[in-house]
Amino acid sequence: MSKLIGILSDTHSCWDDKFSRYFAGCDEIWHCGDIGDYSIVERLQEIAPVVRAVCGNIDHGMVRHRCSESLIFETEGVKVWLTHIAGYPGKYAPGAAKVIAENNIKLLVCGHSHILKVMPDPKFNLLHINPGAAGHHGWQRERTIIRLTIDQGRPSQLEVITLNPKTAS
């Protein structure tokens, strides 16, 4: 069995109808924080049966009340850590390497930097994914989201989707 996953981060309260188009048919959607308004999560829940979301450093109110700062879970045989701030291979945030090692994480999904990064970490034998920013707030020039399949314990068919250039905020 396999799962199709939609991944986004740093919406900063920005909804784009393209989320519905690109995430249609996904089994799960993961939001890596800086959601902004909780209505973003509610609208994502209309697209996919499972929405996993964590809060980020700009989140407050309902988002902070309903979303934890970090989720560690297993799906299709892959141990996943979904968080907002984790850094990246070779430059992890303080404490991140410990969480990775202690939990045998094989897929690290985070946001915060607004920088799209997909890279392996041979030290921990994991795949690191930062989908970039899906919202308009921030310095990124392009807004991006990701789709990937998790099949038989392995991420595969990863697709980066550029929504469109950022408009002024």
Alpha-carbon distance 44 to 33, whole Å? 13
> For residue range 33-67, what is the model confidence (pLDDT) as tens digits?
999 999 999 999 999 999 999 999 999 999 999 99
164 by Cβ neighbours in 10 Å (0-12 / 13-18 / 19+) ranks as exposed
pLDDT at res. 1: 82
CA-derived radius of gyration, the chain: 15
Instruction: Give the residue ranges of the chain where pLDDT is below 50.
Output: 169
pLDDT at res. 166: 57
pLDDT at res. 167: 59
Q: What is the pTM of this model?
A: 0.95
pLDDT at res. 107: 98
